[in-house]
A = this chain, B = another copy of it.
Amino acid sequence: MNLKEFARTLGLSQTTVSRALGGYPEVSAATRKRVQAEAVRLGYAPNRGAQRLATGRAMAIGHVVPLGPNPDIVNPIFADFLAGAGETCAAAKYEMVIAVTRHGEEADAYREMAMKGSVDGVIVHSPQIEDGRIALLRDIGLPFLVHGRSSGVDAPYSWFDVNNRRAFFRATRFLTDLGHERIALINGPEEMDFAHRRRLGYEEALLEVGLTVDETIMTSDEMTEPYGYRAACAALQTAVRPTAFLVSSIISAMGVRRAIVDAGLAPGRDVSIVTHDDDLSYLSNRGDVPLFTATRSSIRAAGRRCGELLIRMIAAGEGAPPVTELWESELTLGVSTGPAPQ
């Protein structure tokens, strides 16, 4: 069923039908109602391709998802982020198209999306400290919102981020307040901007209380469970073992916890853990007494908000100033922390 047929069965012109469905005011309420009802009854909806061609807008946003650098790892937070963005998009009648690329090959995906006009804007995932995608997208002229930031980029751009630095600063201070002096950092890949910022917050807090920053108890890798386990095992076997771990992902934190237990130690008593918690639905750290003390920030809510901001940017058009938004994460108390053992 196409517009021509549909309009004919209604005894109306294509113009009127299109306007009735599109919500334009030049249609009487009665006509609009009838058109909408018949559209549902007969199963008519305007063809997206034709609509795109006629309006020049794709009514879609894109996600280019880079796989992890080493093995092809998919960031597990992505599913939840997507669910959040999806809610916003559905409400705004936008589609989401996603492209998965190997690490470092995102550029082509962006260029193609722009050239083919398959999306009106994109969300940039997993920004690195020096991220060339930002300059690229500006050159291309495709509206974009970075989920995170890129410390190495000076020119203004639109981003949404969580205050990672302050979160890890607070988390570290929380541990030092409890008397911990040897705090291991199990961080994400250091070329990632978020990991960089978390490290800065951690170091800043240590220095503030006169502790030394010790490179040997800081690790950085793709945030898997086995990584957390391995890193923690290694740290626990050193001569002066850490009394606390600060971990960048709840998934790795599970591994850290396992290592602690395997070593015959009690999490929260012998060794403390604070982790960042993206509030993933399947690894919930909520409940009466959360398993982990954590800096929590819902990745799903972030997805929702990123969708909103990007769609607003697209509506605003080229000239509008960049939007930026920084959320604070909450520090929630769980059973994984306690005073440093004497």
- Chain A residues with CB under 8 Å of chain B are 43-53, 58, 60, 65, 67-68, 71-76, 78-80, 82-83, 86-87, 90, 95-101, 111-112, 115-118, 222-226, 251, 254, 257-258, 261, 280-284, 287, 300
Contacts and interface: CB of A to CB of B under 8 A. Distances in A.
A76 B74 contact: no
A44 B111 CA distance: 10
Residue among A52, A95, A261, A282 with the most chain B CB within 10 A?
A282
Given A45-B116, A83-B65, A100 B111 contact: no
A72 B225 contact: no
B117 A48 contact: yes
Contact of A82 (B46, B53, B98): B98
Identical chains bound together, number: 2
A97 B100 contact: no
What 7 A-B pairs have minimum CB-CB distances, sorted nearest first? A49-B52, A86-B100, A45-B115, A73-B281, A79-B79, A49-B53, A48-B116
A235 B44 CA distance: 53
A246 B100 CA distance: 34
Nearest to A86: B100
14 contacts: A43-B111, A47-B116, A47-B117, A49-B50, A68-B281, A74-B82, A76-B79, A76-B283, A95-B118, A96-B99, A97-B98, A224-B284, A257-B258, A261-B261
A117 B46 CA distance: 9
A56 to B, nearest CB: 8
A129 B313 CA distance: 43
A75 B78 CA distance: 11
Contact of A254 (B74, B254, B261): B254
A50 B48 contact: no
A90 B95 contact: no
Nearest to A78: B79
Nearest to A225: B283
